Structure 1
Amino acid sequence: MTAVNVSLMMPEQLHAAYAIHKAAVYRHWSFNTFEDCSHAPYCAYVATLEGSVIGYALLLLVADEATLMDIAIDKDHQRRGVGTALLKQVVTHSKEHNMASIWLEVRSGNKAALSLYSDFGFVTQEIRKGYYPTADGTEDAIIMRALLNP
């Protein structure tokens, strides 16, 4: 597989990233909300392969805390290290901006993401029962945090 490139999202990549978002989330954000998360105080990264967007990460920096607002990989490119590459960049960006920690929430059923976050030092802080709507009801949200300078 050709190397995945992770870089800041360019305006012309926004629609491709949003298409991945819509495919990955049962109740997706509006395009306007997604677009808003690509401008300060947010930071948006994309993973590309041979020029095509195959994943993205949206990060919010406030005071000394970063929040990973959303991250998704195109279903045809999952489990190939793309999420790892994006998360490495999120951590690097957060450290470069002197963040003390990174917060995120993840669906309890997303075992691959939970494993990835655990590998990066994220620890469960709270569980929100029945938080996410699904086609079959609801799913818990797991709130996680990683300390960057413990």
Structure 2
Amino acid sequence: MSEARLMERYLLSMTLADLDEVVAIETAAYEFPWSRGNFTDSLRSGHRGICLRHVTGTLLGYCVLMPVVDEMHLLNLCVAPTAQRGGLGLALLLEAVRVTRSEQLASLLLEVRPSNQAAIRLYERFGFVSIGRRKNYYPARPPGREDAIVMRYSLISQTEEGADGAA
């Protein structure tokens, strides 16, 4: 990605004032979107929301992170449908890793729908590995459920791990 394209965007912490735009993108992008209440509860609980904006101020995407013991959980990552396929998901993942490192956490964990092949490809290219499945995790149509693939990105290099593979 060119430096000029990178300079066209900036990252900010998500606040309650961002939620009208966040919910509009969430609703446009997902069949089963988070509600405004889900975002509000996350921010009020101290989870880290990150907004990716164009220099014009237009919201392009966002993510929500929750620290849990020794890892960061990526709860939500979304790019506006009109801005997809331009490297913005990667930019948000890079920021999620930066935040995870700054919190001195060992890994970044997420769940993804098996039907979301574009997201799975992005996560795999980034270096996430599948570590399990959560049965019937997501709502699906017709009234039903869809499993989640659990993926992890380790921030601990192999040289930092002990002989038994434990950090």
Does structure 1 residue 8 correspond to structure 2 residue 13? yes
How far apart, in 2, do the equivalents of 1:86 and 1:5 lie?
Answer: 11
The answer as to whether partners of 1:54 and 1:77 remain within 8 angstroms in 2 is yes
Does structure 1 residue 73 correspond to structure 2 residue 100? no
Which residue of structure 2 aligns with residue 46 of structure 1?
51
Secondary structure, aligned partner of 2:62: strand
Opposite residue 151 of structure 2, the aligned amino acid is M
Which residue of structure 2 aligns with residue 145 of structure 1?
152
Secondary structure, aligned partner of 2:53: strand
Opposite residue 14 of structure 2, the aligned amino acid is M
Secondary structure, aligned partner of 2:24: helix
Q: TM-score, normalised by structure 2?
A: 0.81
Which residue of structure 2 aligns with residue 59 of structure 1?
65
How far apart, in 2, do the equivalents of 1:59 and 1:19 lie?
Answer: 19
The answer as to whether partners of 1:27 and 1:133 remain within 8 angstroms in 2 is yes
Opposite residue 116 of structure 1, the aligned amino acid is L
Per-residue deviation at 1:13?
A: 1.5
Q: Within 5 Å, which residues of 2 pair with 1:51-130?
A: 51-130=57-136
Secondary structure, aligned partner of 2:73: strand
Secondary structure, aligned partner of 1:105: strand
How far apart, in 2, do the equivalents of 1:9 and 1:56 lie?
Answer: 8
Secondary structure, aligned partner of 1:51: coil
Identity of aligned residues (%): 36
Residues 82-137 of structure 1 show CA distances to partners (whole Å, capped at 9, x for unaligned) of 11111100000000110111110001121221111112211001123443222345
Q: Classify 1:133/1:10 alpha carbon distance in 2 versus 1 (closer, same or farther; 3 Å).
A: closer
Residues 21-70 of structure 1 show CA distances to partners (whole Å, capped at 9, x for unaligned) of 22223222331221122245310001111201111100001221100000
Count of residues paired in the alignment: 150
- For residue 31 of structure 1, the aligned residue among 33, 36, 52 is 36
Give the RMSD, CA atoms, in angstroms: 1.8
Unaligned regions of 5+ residues in structure 1, if any? none
